[in-house]
Structure 1
Amino acid sequence: MTDHDFTREEIAGLLAQADRDAVVALADEIIAALDDPAQCRITRAPQVGAIQVQVREPIAAHRFVIADALATNVEVRLGDQGGWAIRLGDDATAVTAQAICDAEYAASGEYAGQIATLCRSTAQQIAHDRAAHWRDLQPTIVEFEEVH
């Protein structure tokens, strides 16, 4: 068991943004710890495709497609547990490693705590980067006064 509060969706999102090398190294550890490496198999090979990137216009709240992005998805089985992942770009190794971590986490396996730790540090890095970005933008904010 692990000491985490992440949903499976949060894990998927954070692993997709986590450092590629850290995810691959963790998946390698998971596979190395298996009694039989055949317990890990790809059930749907990595597929590269395009996904639509939507944004919401803030005033009228209308959604619209702003661009297409290259992404790769894959499905694996780790023992009896399925794993799935999608990651921006065309890195089949990274997305497969991400799916292995997803399956391990879903099964509450031996490495689920390390996966949660990686996701926690990724979430902290994302928050830090966003805060730094807003600090950079702060001098450019224009505030308007309402005249009556």
Structure 2
Amino acid sequence: MSSTQTRERRCELLAAAAPEEIVPLAERLLADGSIPEPTVLKGPETGMAVLQVREPVEESRFYLGEVLVTECSVDVAGVPGWCMRPGDDRIAALAGAVLDALAAAGSPATAEIDALCAAVAERRAAQDAAEWADVTTTTVVFEELT
């Protein structure tokens, strides 16, 4: 079974998932013994990453500043997994890397991981829609004088 997510999108959604969503899932999948023990290639490390944003009018990119992130990479049965999450939660970064590797390997857990990613995507879309609804009330409409 292969994942319906692109790897980039899956990593984005695992990074946005709440720790209480991804940590228990990874722990349960590891505890049931159906998957090989992961090998940690790069233990969870906390550091800074440059945050690039796009200016909305001219759409030019610029560096806003640095953000705290935690990165981790693992190998599960020869398939690499990677995760970079905002903040300093090392356990969640490790869990995200394990879930990424399992999904990339097409493990039986892929459907469950995809379902988690879909739930995170829906939640983010709802948050974006709510934010947009708040912003649109401030829209100024100009009339052209002739």
Match of 1:68 among 66, 69, 77: 66
Aligned match for 1:91, one of 85, 89, 92? 89
Q: Is the alpha carbon distance of 1:147 and 1:31 closer, same or farther for their aligned partners in structure 2, counting shifts above 3 Å?
A: same
Distance 1:74 1:113 in 2: 23
User: Which of 101, 112, 115 is the aligned partner of 1:114?
Assistant: 112
1:36 CA displacement: 7.6
5+ residue gaps in structure 1?
A: none
Superposition RMSD on alpha carbons, in Å?
1.6
CA distance in 2, matches of 1:144, 1:131: 24
Is the alpha carbon distance of 1:15 and 1:142 closer, same or farther for their aligned partners in structure 2, counting shifts above 3 Å?
same
- Using structure 1 for the length normalisation, give the TM-score: 0.91
Letter in 1 for 2:16: Q
- Alignment-mate amino acid for residue 90 of structure 2: A
**Structure 1 position 110, deviation (Å):** 1.4
Structure 2 residue ranges without an equivalent (≥5):
none
Shift of the 140–68 alpha-carbon distance from structure 1 to 2, 3 Å rule, reads same
Aligned to 1:9: 8
- Runs of 4 or more, structure 1, over 3 Å off, are none
Distance 1:59 1:138 in 2: 17
* 8 Å Cα contact 2:29-2:35 kept in structure 1: no
